[in-house]
Chain A
Amino acid sequence: MSAVFKALSDPTRRQVLQHLQNGPLGAGELAQLFDVSKPTMSAHFAVLVAAGLIEPVKQGRTITYHLKLSVLEDALLMFAEAFGLQVTRTKAGKPSGSPHKESR
C-alpha cells in the first residue's frame, strides 16, 4: 500500500493516471504530454508499474500503458487530486516521491 501512496504523491504521476483513464496510451504519446525528459517519464512509469497502478503491454517495439486501478485506488487518486497527499521533503526541497530531477 505504501507503494501506492508513493506513486500517488507525485502530481506528474497522478496526471499520467488521469490521462490513462480516457484509454490506453503509448509511452511516447504519454511522454509528449509532459514537459519532462524521457528518462524522467520512464522513472515515473516504473514507479506506477511497481505500485500495480498501470500495466505495460509490449506490442512490437511500442509499449502501451493500461490503467489498472482498483476502486479504492481510484478513490485515493481522486482524493489526492482534490486535497493533495502529504509528501515528506528532502533537504534539496524536492518531494521524496519524485524519482529524480526533472529536466529537459
Chain B
Amino acid sequence: MNPLFRLGRALLGAALIIGIAVVLQWLQPVYISKELSIRLMGAVFGLVVVVNSNAIPKTLGRRWRVQSGAAAQAARRVAGWSMVLGGMGYMLASLFAPPALAFPVSAAILLTALFAATLRVTRIGTSCPRQ
C-alpha cells in the first residue's frame, strides 16, 4: 500500500476521533449527560483498538513471514485475537459497567489483552527456532 495513502488514512482516522470527542464535548450537558459522553468516548476508543488489531495477523511483513514460519504465524494470530477481544471488552465495559468501575475494568481488560499479546509475540524468538 502506498505510504502516502496510509499516512492520509491514519490522519483521517485521528481527525475522526478528535471530531467525535469535540462533538461529544459540545453535546454535554444539554443533550447528553457527562457520564454518557465519557462512556461513548470509551466505546470509540475500544472500536479503534478492534479495527487496528483486526489487521495484526495480516500485516506481517513478507521477509519476517518467510523467516519465522509457523511459530510467528500462530503468535500473530493469538495476538490479533487477544487484542480484538480486549478492544471489544473495553467497549462493553465502557458502555455497561457501573460508572465507578467502568474505567478501571475496561483498562484492566485492555491491559490484560495487551500483556497476553506481547507475551505471545515475544516468546517466538525464545521458544521456536527460525525455519
Residues of chain A whose beta carbon lies under 8 Å from any beta carbon of chain B: 21-24, 52, 55, 57, 59, 64, 66-74
Contact = CB atoms under 8 A, between A and B. Distances in A.
State the main secondary structure of chain A at its contact with B: mixed
B84 A23 contact: no
Given A23-B73, A24-B73, A70 B54 contact: yes
Interface of B: 53-58, 60, 62, 65-66, 69-70, 73-74, 77, 80-81, 84
Contacts, number: 49
State the main secondary structure of chain B at its contact with A: helix
Given A55-B65, A57-B62, A57-B66, A66 B57 contact: no
B77 A74 contact: yes
Contacts of B81: 71, 74
24 contacts: A21-B73, A21-B77, A22-B70, A23-B70, A23-B73, A24-B65, A24-B70, A52-B58, A55-B62, A57-B62, A64-B66, A66-B65, A67-B73, A68-B57, A68-B60, A70-B54, A70-B56, A70-B58, A70-B80, A71-B53, A71-B80, A71-B84, A74-B77, A74-B80
